[in-house]
A and B are shown apart, each in its own frame.
Chain A
Amino acid sequence: DVKVTQSSRYLVKRTGEKVFLECVQDMDHENMFWYRQDPGLGLRLIYFSYDVKMKEKGDIPEGYSVSREKKERFSLILESASTNQTSMYLCASSLAGQPYEQYFGPGTRLTVT
């Protein structure tokens, strides 16, 4: 089974802090994605990566950055956390040949106070 793990299930940070959310997948998937999930808005794509050291902006990249130094790991960085970044963050991965079958991690619920 594909396994996508995220470093924390729950995280509480203060406004202005730098926040790192880590995602690791164990199935050698080329593609990795970061979404945020908010009630009534569904999932919105923040950043994605099709290969190591490669990154592309999604629909809502403002206030976020990413890093992919190794194929299995994709990190989301909030340079200076703000209260409007309080949300559920979901990581996903997929094979390059099966891009529409994305496998999701359990999510990190981030609260910024």
Chain B
Amino acid sequence: AQSVAQPEDQVNVAEGNPLTVKCTYSVSGNPYLFWYVQYPNRGLQFLLKYITGDNLVKGSYGFEAEFNKSQTSFHLKKPSALVSDSALYFCAVRDYNYGQNFVFGPGTRLSVLP
């Protein structure tokens, strides 16, 4: 069965510093990987996806993620964090049981400190 782990419940970073939110996955086939963000009192918003192609994927709001097959990881990164990036971040993988659905990780809360 596929699964997604986000090893950190909380990540704190100072504004202007680079940020990384970690994600590792386990799937039986080719991984389709995604990042979503949830701002306070709002629904989830799609950030970026990896289906195939370049291992470095660029997404919305200056975020990018690097697919690493050997380490089964898909870490989210941003070169310079903003206070407005503070939110809950979810990594997700395609659910091979239900082809058009996801398996979500538990989420990582990012706090960017001014």
Contacts and interface: CB of A to CB of B under 8 A. Distances in A.
Interface of A: 4, 9, 31, 33, 40-45, 48, 50, 56, 58, 90, 92, 94, 96, 99-107
Contact of B106 (A42, A50, A90): A42
B98 A58 contact: yes
Contacts of B34: 100
B100 A40 contact: no
> Per DSSP, are chain B's interface residues mostly helix, strand or loop, or mixed?
loop
B44 interface: yes
A99 B100 contact: yes
> Per DSSP, are chain A's interface residues mostly helix, strand or loop, or mixed?
strand
Given A42-B107, A45-B101, 10 more contacts: A41-B106, A42-B4, A42-B104, A43-B90, A45-B95, A48-B98, A94-B100, A101-B46, A102-B46, A107-B42
Contacts of A31: 100
A40 B43 contact: no
Contacts of B22: none
B45 interface: yes
B44 A100 contact: no
Interface residues of B, number: 25
A87 to B, nearest CB: 14
Interface in B25-49: 32, 34, 36, 41-46, 49
Nearest to A94: B100
B43 A106 contact: yes
Given A99-B99, A100-B34, A43 B104 contact: yes
Interface in B66-114: 90, 94-95, 98-102, 104-107
A4 B101 CA distance: 17
B8 interface: no
A104 B98 CA distance: 18
Contacts of B49: 100-101
Contacts of B44: 43, 90, 92, 102, 104
